């Protein structure tokens, strides 16, 4: 069963499409960030800032996906976590975009998609 179908059974009045899209983008972003951080470790240049941004973003994404999968409209504190996730994605995308490697470019794109999905969710929940 897809997450979108499971969320329809939620008791609170949620925008299921925005919530499901955010969860999917967040999980995808976390995977990209973890893979990018690992690939950065193999680079000949100093990628410390990129690794840190990716790992921070992945951890924040993991926590956000976990919390918002059980979020209810009445549980507004999760909105702040989604904002933090969007900001972490923006930061990571900026860092990754400053590198020419394919893994950094792919990670930056995933982070931008995630940031947009988080902002869309925030707008839908407002």
What pTM was computed for the model? Answer: 0.89
The CATH number of the domain holding residue 52 is 1.20.1270.360
Give a yes or no: residue 9 inside a domain.
no
Domain total for the chain? 1
Domain that holds residue 91: 14-125
Q: Is residue 83 part of a domain?
A: yes
What band does 75 get if pLDDT is binned at 50, 70 and 90?
Answer: low
**Domain contains 52:** yes
Confidence at 53, pLDDT banded by 50, 70, 90: very high
Q: Does residue 2 belong to any structural domain of this protein?
A: no
Asked if residue 79 is part of any domain, the answer here is yes
Give per-residue pLDDT as tens, 21-41.
Answer: 999 999 999 999 999 999 999
DSSP 31-84: HHHHHHHHHHTTSSS--HHHHHHHHHHHHHHHHHHHHHTT--TT-THHHHHHHH
- With cut-offs at 50, 70 and 90, classify the pLDDT of residue 119: very high
């Amino acid at each position: 069963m897809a997450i979108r179908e499971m969320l329809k059974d939620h008791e609170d009045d949620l925008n299921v499409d925005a919530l499901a899209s955010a969860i999917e983008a967040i999980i995808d972003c976390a995977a990209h960030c973890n893979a990018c951080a690992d690939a950065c470790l193999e680079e000949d240049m100093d990628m410390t800032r990129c690794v840190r941004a990716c790992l921070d973003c992945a951890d924040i994404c993991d926590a956000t996906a976990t919390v918002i999968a059980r979020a209810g409209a009445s549980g507004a504190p999760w909105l702040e976590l989604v904002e933090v996730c969007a900001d972490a994605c923006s930061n990571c995308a900026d860092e990754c975009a400053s590198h020419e490697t394919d893994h950094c470019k792919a990670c930056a794109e995933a982070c931008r998609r995630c940031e947009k999905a988080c902002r869309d969710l925030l707008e839908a929940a407002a």
